[in-house]
């Protein structure tokens, strides 16, 4: 999602800038998109509904709230639903509204990334194809923006491919258990303050990464389909 939105911003004149498709908004939408998949990875329809729910959440206004499908309760990530749970909707106001220009521009991206074919690949929580997962693991350990010799690349490649390792049922169960605990921890820490801090930090990292890519030329870009 993030890559698609950034590419859209680059090729669409006037889409960037204050109150439009900012880096902060892109990161926020990307986080929502990923969470929608991971929280509903057992069903294509549930993933699709959850993804579109996050977009409707962002374009909601005081006169036209669209939060019916947002998670309910006082611990919901949706501030409107939290206000509803605490009976404070009378004083609730929407903030950081998405402009119609941005919505119209990104809507086709959401259409493209919520096809049944793509979401079927995410069943079980796998939102990267095998090549993307392998490459991202290698470059995380040996970034292209840093000088790395053959030995470092070989080590990173072997680790990414689990070279020489046999993964059995117990190892798979352990990985699934660790992943579940990681998601639960993320859910607990998803307060407004913590979420905003993570978004701000990610925005800074993305900006630095884009600057490095612009300086050296983009050598690798992840795609959705093969």
Same domain for 139 and 118, yes or no, is no
Lowest pLDDT segment from 117-121, 129-133, 191-195, 198-202: 129-133
46 and 157 inside one domain: no
Residue at a domain's end among 68, 89, 122? 122
Is position 86 within any domain?
no
Tell me: do 50 and 25 sit in the same domain: yes
The pLDDT of 163-188, averaged and rounded, is 72
| Chosen domain end from 89, 106, 122 | 122
End position of a domain, from candidates 89, 122, 155: 122
pLDDT in tens, 103-149: 999 999 999 999 999 898 888 765 555 555 677 777 777 776 777 78
| pLDDT number for residue 194 | 62
> What does the mean pLDDT of the chain come to?
80
Highest mean pLDDT, choosing among 77-91, 126-140, 145-159: 77-91
Together in a domain, 106 and 175: no
Q: Return the closest-CA partner of residue 27 out of 199, 209, 196, 212.
A: 199
Per the structure, the count of domains in the chain is 2
Q: What is the pLDDT of residue 75?
A: 84
Range scoring the smallest mean pLDDT among 59-68, 86-95, 121-130, 134-143: 121-130
Q: Is residue 186 part of a domain?
A: yes
Domain assignment present for residue 82? The answer is no
The pLDDT of residue 168: 76
Interhelix angle 2-11/23-39, nearest 10 degrees: 150
Question: 108 and 147 share a domain?
Answer: no
Cα 29 to Cα 15: distance, rounded to the nearest angstrom: 16
Query: CA distances (Å), 183 to each of 113, 134, 149, 168, 209, in order?
Result: 22, 21, 35, 23, 26
This prediction has a pTM of 0.59
Same domain as 35, residue 113: yes
For 25-39, what is the mean pLDDT? 87
Per-residue pLDDT, 188:
62
Q: By residue range, what is the domain housing residue 52?
A: 1-59+97-122
């Amino acid at each position: 999602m993030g890559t698609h939105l950034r590419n859209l911003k680059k090729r669409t004149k006037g889409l960037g800038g204050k109150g439009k498709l900012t880096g902060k908004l892109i990161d926020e939408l990307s986080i929502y998109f990923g969470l929608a998949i991971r929280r509903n990875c057992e069903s294509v329809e549930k993933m699709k509904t959850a993804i579109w729910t996050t977009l409707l959440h962002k374009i909601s206004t005081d006169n036209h709230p669209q939060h019916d499908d947002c998670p309910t309760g006082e611990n919901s990530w949706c501030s409107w639903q939290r206000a509803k749970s605490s009976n404070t909707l009378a004083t609730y106001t929407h903030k950081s509204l998405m402009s119609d220009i941005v919505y119209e521009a990104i809507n086709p991206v959401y259409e493209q990334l919520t096809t049944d074919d793509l979401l079927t690949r995410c069943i079980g929580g796998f939102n990267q194809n095998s090549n993307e997962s392998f490459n991202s693991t290698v470059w995380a350990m040996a970034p292209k923006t840093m000088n790395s010799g053959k030995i470092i690349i070989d080590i990173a490649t072997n680790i990414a491919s689990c070279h020489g390792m046999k993964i059995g049922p117990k190892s798979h169960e352990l990985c699934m258990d660790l992943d579940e605990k990681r998601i639960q921890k993320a859910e607990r820490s998803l307060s407004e303050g913590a979420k905003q801090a993570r978004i701000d930090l990610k925005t800074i990292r993305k900006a630095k990464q884009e600057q490095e890519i612009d300086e050296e030329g983009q050598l690798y870009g992840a795609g959705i389909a093969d």
